[in-house]
Amino acid sequence: MGDANKAYELLIDELKETALLGSVASVLGWDERTQLPPRGTEHRARQSSLLAKMVHERFTSSRIGDLLAEVEHSPLLVDPAGDAAVNVRETRRQYDRLSKLPTALVEELTSTAVLAQQVWGEARKESDYAKFEPWLAKTLTLKRREAECLGHGGDPYDALLDEFEPGETSVGIRRTFESLREPLVELIGKVAGSGRKAPTEILGREYPADAQRTLAREAAAAIGFDFAAGRLDVSLHPFCTELGPGDVRMTTRYDPHHFGDSLFGVMHETGHGLYSQGLEAAHFGTPRGEYISLGIHESQSRLWENLVGRSRSFWKWFLPRTRQVFPGPLTGVSDDDWCFAINDIHPSLIRVESDEATYNLHIMLRFELERAMLRDELSAADLPHAWEVKMREYLGVVPANDAGGCLQDIHWSGGAIGYFPTYTLGNLYAAQFFEQARTDLGDLDDQFARGEFRPLLAWLREKIHRHGKRFTGPQLVQHVTGKPLSAEPLLRHLRDKAERFYGV
């Protein structure tokens, strides 16, 4: 037992040192997307590639393997939910997975992501897909190699999806989408036929960026984000990254004529940030101090963005302050008009600006396209046309240019293929968690209307954040709600919204 204890201590030391090195790479990643001058991109690619090599070699070293083997059958792991068992189990899973990847491939994937993201940003600004297409083609080639190295049961997409949502498969994702597609299409059709139109022109009035920044920071702080342990900056595509205990970075973008882009974007990223700030610092670098999956991470962002941030009770408290910051554009705007405007349901071109009902159709589209590209059933050159076809099929709208079409998301440029389905999983988890929170905490609307968000945050900390990787996503939702993951809570939420605002 003494040898096993010592081996476990050494394993944790190795993991924490490796995580520190990885956190340095994360700093460079944050800087790349917020501060890096264009001419520094190639040097940054080399820096990031070197760090990725160092982290990969450390984590997949024979020393980690030997230490794992020494503790795996010891009494330390008698409690499967105990810290030691969680750390060993999840480290073994990652060790076996990453050991299959050649270091040279890891380096090339990392450097390509840095270079491709730079080109993507330029291509998006110029609405010129042809500029980005060679980089997407190269990324797909590398991701196919990665999938082959990892191994899969006939679908390379599954190998990549497993990185973001462990244990999930494309078959499971398709089943989830099938449970949503018909009810969503039916609901959206009823809304379109209701004859009611939300006063969305309110959101397109003049909202100066500096004032938006002030309001966004206030909203983030109000729901619990600790700015002494984080910050909010600007980037082309909003994101949140955890650099380590006490350092969580969020970004957004500001459009003076699109109020919701920044405010709800910040609420979304704050949800991510609250999860990161809720992970136990003492466990940094080990699975007990890491998030479960991106689906669970997205549940936190979508919960705060939509279930809290678009609620009438939130704005009963926050709209008076918003009127103080923007007295001009909100003159004569009633509470009812405002809440209707921010809860509008209609097909749109941009995923991050879409409403809750149509959002998952955007995700289905991306899932089908990226899976087809990875399987060589769709070429990178044909993506714009395929995108238009799918947009017309799913949402009845067609982008006028590449920027509003297949260049709108950053994910593929960074090699995040297999990521998009986690957004829909996050919506499902969020709705089911929120229903349970209502049951456990009583009248949340009354609390929100008074600006009280601590009870909900404390509930999330207790039920979700503090566990790290103790549970898988499906295990967690069963543990918290007593039920397996289901589409019904989300559909109930969306139907209730459609009835309140559209009478259908």
- Residues serving a catalytic function are 269
Three-state SS sequence of 307-368: HHCCCHHHHHHHHHHHHHHCCCCCCCCCHHHHHHHHCCCCCCCCHHHCCHHHHHHHHHHHHH
Which residue, among 421, 477, 428, has the nearest Cα to 164 in the 3D structure? 421
Instruction: Calculate the alpha carbon distances from 77 to 10, 72, 387, 474 in Å.
Output: 16, 7, 49, 22
In whole angstroms, give the CA distance from residue 147 to residue 161: 10
Buried-state track 370-400, b at ≥16 Cβ within 10 A, e below 16: bbbbbeeebebeebbebbeebbeebbeeebe
Buried-state track 295-308, b at ≥16 Cβ within 10 A, e below 16: bbbbbbbbbbbbbb
At a CB cut-off of 8 Å and minimum separation 6, what does 401 contact?
A: 127
At a CB cut-off of 8 Å and minimum separation 6, what does 27 contact?
A: 243
Measure CA 135 to chain center. 23
| CB-based burial label for 34 (10 Å; 0-12, 13-18, 19+) | middle
Q: Phi then psi for 310, rounded to 5 degrees?
A: -105, 10
Which residue, among 297, 280, 286, has the nearest Cα to 89 in the 3D structure? 286
Q: Phi then psi for 188, rounded to 5 degrees?
A: -65, -35
Dihedral, CA of residue 222, residue 225, residue 231 and residue 233, to nearest 10: -60
Strand order in the sheet with 247-252: 230-234, 247-252, 240-244
CA atoms within 13 A on the CB side of 227: 12
- Which two structure tokens, joined as six digits, stand for 167? 């244990």
- The Cβ of residue 408 has, within 10 Å, a number of other Cβ atoms equal to 18
Instruction: Calculate the alpha carbon distances from 190 to 135, 147, 332, 350, 393 in Å.
Output: 41, 42, 30, 22, 17
Alpha-carbon dihedral sign for residues 22, 295, 427, 307:
negative
- Which two structure tokens, joined as six digits, stand for 186? 């039916």
In whole angstroms, give the CA distance from residue 311 to residue 345: 14
